[in-house]
Amino acid sequence: MQAALLADRGVVKVEGADARAFLNGLASNDMTAVAPAQPRFAALLTPQGKIVADFIVAENPAADGGGFFLDCPQALAPMLVEKLNFYKLRAKVAVADLSGTLAVMAVWGGIQAESDFGLSYPDPRLPALGWRVMVPPEQAVEAAAALGADLTGAEAYDAHRIALGIPRGGHDFAYGDAFPHEADMDQLAGVDFHKGCYVGQEVVSRVEHRGTARSRVVPVAYDDHAPMTGLPVLAGDKQVGTFGSAANGRGLALLRLDRVGDAMASGTPLTAGGIALRVVKPGWATFPWPGAAPV
């Protein structure tokens, strides 16, 4: 079992009598279903349906149903606090950035027991991603040892994530510019299509019901050296997407799947920076795959 302290992750606390209802009115997932050790993956969206920030919502079991921790990108934590306070109005809610005192540790590769050092919860996106533990950073080594895990660098977790085909905001898609379907949030339990209204819901529902998500982050494979993040992905001389993060012969790219399908049908190779790419369907994908026969 391995563990890694994720320096790019921050923690935002939302507590108060109205915290659950407040978050449920804003987030893309059903906050009424969040319980201790039963987190939800979700996002705050713009009214146009684009991702402002994505996060994992975990309930604090000691807060009597009124306290939640948002495992979010650390760089976006101050902005997320500002946005939540903007929407707060008269709700009985307090929002605070705890990124200076709490860190997020990922644990994967084995059966995870509950940690005595901090709040532990399974990653709701995909079981193979393992568990997360919110812990004071100075206790990370001790916490990992108590779990029987080897504490490694964050790059080991990143390689694990990439091998599973899981997008990372800011690397594989741009915050403020990507829709949830493009970031595969609909595939990774990040959107509830049956809950009540939330910011951006109409756009997300329209994409889902019309099946108009043409671009998605998908896994790709390459040989030898990885292309640089941000390079255009080409089918011949036409751009069909953008290359994202990479490790150990696997990467992620935001691609126009219809154009990739056309390239595959015509035998046109995909490249990024002159490096050949092959799309690789992940086991969790249920959307129409380029080159596959219609069902």
- Which one of 164, 195, 226 terminates a domain? 164
Alpha carbon of residue 111 to chain centroid = 22
**Strand ranges for the chain from DSSP E:** 2-6, 9-15, 40-45, 51-59, 67-73, 94-97, 103-108, 119-122, 131-135, 150-152, 215-221, 232-235, 238-247, 250-256, 270-272, 275-279
The pLDDT of residue 174 is 98
Average pLDDT over residues 205-209: 95
In percent, how much of the chain has pLDDT > 90? 88
Same domain for 156 and 264, yes or no, is no
Same domain for 92 and 16, yes or no, is yes
Same domain for 114 and 241, yes or no, is no
Residue 62 lies inside a defined structural domain of this protein: yes
Least confident of 37-51, 138-152, 217-231: 138-152
Instruction: State yes or no: pLDDT of 113 exceeds 80.
Output: no
Residue 178 lies inside a defined structural domain of this protein: no
Average pLDDT over residues 130-155: 94
The pLDDT of residue 65 is 62
Same domain for 142 and 21, yes or no, is yes
What are 233-291's pLDDT values in tens digits? Answer: 999 999 999 999 999 999 999 999 999 999 999 999 999 999 999 999 999 999 999 97
Same domain for 152 and 224, yes or no, is no
Residue 104 lies inside a defined structural domain of this protein: yes
Same domain for 38 and 100, yes or no, is yes
Same domain for 38 and 150, yes or no, is yes
Cα 111 from Cα 19, distance rounded (Å): 31
Q: How sure is the predictor about 116, in pLDDT bands with cuts at 50, 70 and 90?
A: confident
Contacts of 210 (CB under 8 A, 6+ apart): none
What are 63-77's pLDDT values in tens digits? Answer: 666 699 999 999 999
CATH number at residue 40: 3.30.1360.120
pTM score: 0.95
Residue 171 lies inside a defined structural domain of this protein: no
Residue 192 lies inside a defined structural domain of this protein: no
- Name beta bridge partners: 13: 69, 96
Same domain for 10 and 147, yes or no, is yes
Query: What percent of the residues of the chain are helix, what percent strand, and what percent coil, each to the nearest 5?
Result: 25, 35, 45
Q: What is the residue-averaged pLDDT of the chain?
A: 94
- Structure token digits, residue 43: 């996002």
Same domain for 135 and 55, yes or no, is yes
- Counting the structural domains of the chain, the total is 2
CATH number at residue 263: 2.40.30.110
Average pLDDT over residues 171-187: 98
Contact present, 220 and 250 (Cβ < 8 Å): yes
Same domain for 37 and 123, yes or no, is yes
In percent, how much of the chain has pLDDT > 70? 97
Same domain for 146 and 222, yes or no, is no
Alpha carbon of residue 78 to chain centroid = 18
- Which one of 123, 145, 164 terminates a domain? 164
Residue 224 lies inside a defined structural domain of this protein: yes
What are 26-45's pLDDT values in tens digits? Answer: 999 999 999 999 999 999 99
Instruction: State yes or no: pLDDT of 212 exceeds 90.
Output: no
Containing domain of residue 267, as a range? 214-295
Least confident of 113-127, 160-174, 215-229, 257-271: 113-127
Q: How sure is the predictor about 121, in pLDDT bands with cuts at 50, 70 and 90?
A: very high
The secondary structure element, H or E, covering residue 160 is helix 154-164
Instruction: State yes or no: pLDDT of 295 exceeds 50.
Output: no
Instruction: State yes or no: pLDDT of 294 exceeds 70.
Output: no
Same domain for 31 and 159, yes or no, is yes
- Which one of 128, 143, 164 terminates a domain? 164
The pLDDT of residue 117 is 85
Residue 88 lies inside a defined structural domain of this protein: yes
Residue 203 lies inside a defined structural domain of this protein: no
The pLDDT of residue 64 is 66
